[in-house]
């Protein structure tokens, strides 16, 4: 199989109606914080057990087509010795890997950050691919504030995202390009919309410069929502209208799938907003789906609490949340379904 064929086979397996991506790639500090909130001690064994619980949930492959893993998880095994990546594959879920190395302050752009990890990326991708990864994810962030993001911050992060995507495609790895616009702050939804448009315009200009094949990538953007400290919440209809408007202005039709991050929304908000887009705008050129972390995992993590006797209930909570998002991907979710899990 050629590299081109590899990339398109992965896209075919990942971009499917009613299915989305589970982001289970939390760094050790992030998952430690989330575990602590529900009384779970974070160590290698509890992290392995939790991610095994998610991937071995019966029926989960009906709604999840891909899983983004943290490097630690890629090498871990289930209780019976089966590699976790094989558990995913058996469920019809494509394994992927987070490859960025986190954020650093960007010089001459106070308040902005740049994502690290390009050094040695090609070599790391070869190793990850040998372990079973077929796609990768790289996150860049744009904070919203009185002076942020700066033009330099937007341009630098777009350039880095494009360089990452190009290296991935050369390796036969599908890149997920994640230009997150942070929800932190008290900005209104109009400011979020303006920043999102500027960020995504710059990202696609950079992808073009680096000759990234748009048909062989997935975009993971933020929905257009007001800052979490803003006093006025946006309805799902307004989120959908503003988000779709920006996608039409910035994202070429060649991109096969747009898998939104949940970005601080509650599980219910993330599902309702995704549904409003698919219900209200059914004839867009891209598939609109999900790539959620906390919005999929918050219910099962809180149910599990690190106790083996809670595993079945936690899997049921996870399957319910995944099913609702699968319905939202088709525009078939209604809020009353929240109570029928």
The active-site residue out of 98, 113, 137, 220 is 220
First to last CA, the chain: 42
Element housing 95 (H / E): strand 94-98
Would the pTM count as exceeding 0.85?
Answer: yes
Query: Looking at 159, 178, 180, 269, which residue is catalytic?
Result: 178
Active-site residue flag, 228: no
pLDDT at residue number 339: 84
| CA–CA separation, 132 and 88 (whole Å) | 10
DSSP alpha helix (H) spans, the chain: 3-14, 28-37, 44-55, 71-74, 84-90, 121-130, 151-170, 189-209, 236-250, 267-280, 294-304, 311-329
Q: Does the structure show a pLDDT above 70 at 168? A: yes
Instruction: Give the model confidence (pLDDT) of 264-298 as tens digits.
Output: 899 999 999 999 999 999 999 999 999 999 999 99
The percentage of residues in the chain with a pLDDT greater than 70, rounded to a whole number, is: 99
- pLDDT value at 207 more than 80: yes
Q: Is the distance from CB of 296 to CB of 256 less than 8 angstroms?
A: no
Identify whether the C-beta of residue 121 lies closer than 8 Å to the C-beta of residue 99.
yes
Domains and CATH numbers, the chain: 3-340 (3.20.20.70)
**Listed residue (81, 45, 53) closest to 302, CA to CA:** 53
Please say if 86 is a catalytic residue: no
Summarised one tens digit per residue, pLDDT across range 89-118 is 999 999 999 999 999 999 999 999 999 999
The tens digit of pLDDT for each residue in 224-256 reads 999 999 999 999 999 999 999 999 999 999 999
Mean pLDDT of 148-157: 98
């Amino acid at each position: 199989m050629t590299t081109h064929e590899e990339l398109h086979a992965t896209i075919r397996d990942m971009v499917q109606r009613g299915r989305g991506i589970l982001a289970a790639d939390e760094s050790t500090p992030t998952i430690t914080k989330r575990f602590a909130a529900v009384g779970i001690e974070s160590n290698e064994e509890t992290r392995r057990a939790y991610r095994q619980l998610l991937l071995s949930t019966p029926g989960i492959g009906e709604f999840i087509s891909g899983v983004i893993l943290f490097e630690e998880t890629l090498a871990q095994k289930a209780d019976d010795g089966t590699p976790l990546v094989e558990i995913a594959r058996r469920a019809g879920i494509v394994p992927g890997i987070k490859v960025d190395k986190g954020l650093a302050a960007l010089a001459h752009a106070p308040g902005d950050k740049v994502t690290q990890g390009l050094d040695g990326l090609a070599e790391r991708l070869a190793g990850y691919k040998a372990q079973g990864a077929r796609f990768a994810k790289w996150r860049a962030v744009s904070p919203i504030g009185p002076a942020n993001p700066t033009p330099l911050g937007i341009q630098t992060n777009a350039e880095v995202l494009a360089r990452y995507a190009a290296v991935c495609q050369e390796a036969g790895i599908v890149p997920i390009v994640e230009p997150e616009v942070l929800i932190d702050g008290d900005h209104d939804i109009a400011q979020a919309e303006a920043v999102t448009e500027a960020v995504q315009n710059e990202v696609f200009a950079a992808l073009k410069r680096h000759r990234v094949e748009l048909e062989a990538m997935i975009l993971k953007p933020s929905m257009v929502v007001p800052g979490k400290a803003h006093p006025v919440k946006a309805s799902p209809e307004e989120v959908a209208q503003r988000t779709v408007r920006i996608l039409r202005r910035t994202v070429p039709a060649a991109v096969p799938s747009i898998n939104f991050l949940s970005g601080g929304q509650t599980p219910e908000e993330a599902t309702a907003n995704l549904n409003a887009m698919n219900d209200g705008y059914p004839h867009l050129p891209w598939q609109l789906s999900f790539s959620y972390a906390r919005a999929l995992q918050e219910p099962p993590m809180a149910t599990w609490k690190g106790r083996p006797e809670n595993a079945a209930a936690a899997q049921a909570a996870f399957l319910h949340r995944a099913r609702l998002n699968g319905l939202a991907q088709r525009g078939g979710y209604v809020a009353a379904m929240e109570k029928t899990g």
